[in-house]
Amino acid sequence: MKRNVMVMVGLLAAFAFLLLPAQSMAKKQFISIGTGGTGGVYYPYGGALAEIWTRHVKNVQAVAEVTGASVENVKLAHRGETVIGEVMGDVAYEAYYGLGRFKGKPQKIAAMFMMYPNVYHVVTLKKSGITKMSDLKGKKVSVGSPGSGTEYMSSIVLNAIGIPYSSFEVKRLSFVENANALRDGTIDVGIWCVGPPTSSIMDLATTHHIRIIPFSKEEIQKVISKYKYYSPYVLPAGTYKGVDKDVLTLSVWNVAICYRDLPDDLVYKLTKAVFENTDYLIKVYPGAKETTPQNAVKYTPIPLHPGAVKYYKEIGIEVPPDKIAK
């Protein structure tokens, strides 16, 4: 009996010894990235970020989550749930400063880096006869899914050019749903704000003759004179099958945001890993060539997290004090 007890004590001691290294190892930190629907660019771009961070940042396990996109991503980051979010610059600006739909409720977020410009696509089928923005009046128009940056931008832009939601039948569909509804004839117009070219519009253009409705120069001026975070953009002919002329439209930068209270050291490591592995991002989405440290500081719509600032200063980029989150 005594011998058996001693054996058991020995085995328990050995087992405890084997556990010590595991207990002393740093715990994995799980990072969730708020992206968008699967028919846009946010999801694959976020997947690439997750791959980079999981491979190149020690003790980090990152995952890209399908979400309702910009507005939802801000709210999730503010609550510290999906602590990283891909967000359109207009949404980030109003969220940070407590304006617009966030009036009186500034969100606890900061910028990490700029991603690429989103381009406003107002898509119809050629057979619809819709050729200009004013033709949206009286039609069935999908302005973007609830909680998305597309819907947020639509509410601002369309109102600015005299086409309020009250002037047409409003639908709120995702990018994939937009394409399916245009195919089925259940909507007349679908709106995307996304990095071009995007898969759901490309797929639609392979089976149907599409038109991307241009803005007039006067309409562009009405928008950009009031909202400084929007810029004119010319979508080149040939971006999508059957779109044979340049299309004048609008763009807005996308920004990768984070929960403001994330540790500086973690944000520094995440930011550094992104810029040391942009070749992988560009393989996933060629527009990621715009993901540069210089663009991060030049175009950020909200102050940068101090951890990101540490990296930019380290590589010799000056960051003005008003662009650093407090």
Residue ranges of domains in the chain, CATH in brackets:
29-115+255-323 (3.40.190.10), 118-252 (3.40.190.10)
What was the pLDDT predicted at 94? 95
For the residues 110-129, what does the mean pLDDT come to? 97
pLDDT tens-digit series, residues 179-202: 999 999 999 999 999 999 999 999
Distance CA 85, CA 65 (A): 10
Distance CA 68, CA 43 (A): 11
Lookup: tokens for 179? 């394409």
Instruction: Assess whether pLDDT exceeds 50 at residue 6.
Output: no
Bridge partners for 118 per DSSP: 252
pLDDT tens-digit series, residues 26-84: 689 999 999 998 888 999 999 999 999 999 999 999 999 999 999 999 999 999 999 99
Distance CA 300, CA 44 (A): 22
pLDDT tens-digit series, residues 259-269: 999 999 999 99
Contact 160, 227 (CB under 8 A): yes
Contact 113, 260 (CB under 8 A): no
What was the pLDDT predicted at 26? 63
Instruction: Assess whether pLDDT exceeds 50 at residue 292.
Output: yes
Contact 168, 141 (CB under 8 A): yes
Instruction: Assess whether pLDDT exceeds 70 at residue 225.
Output: yes
Instruction: Assess whether pLDDT exceeds 70 at residue 13.
Output: no
What was the pLDDT predicted at 228? 86
Distance CA 310, CA 264 (A): 8
Distance CA 129, CA 252 (A): 28
- Give the range among 4-8, 137-141, 144-148, 221-225 with minimum mean pLDDT: 4-8
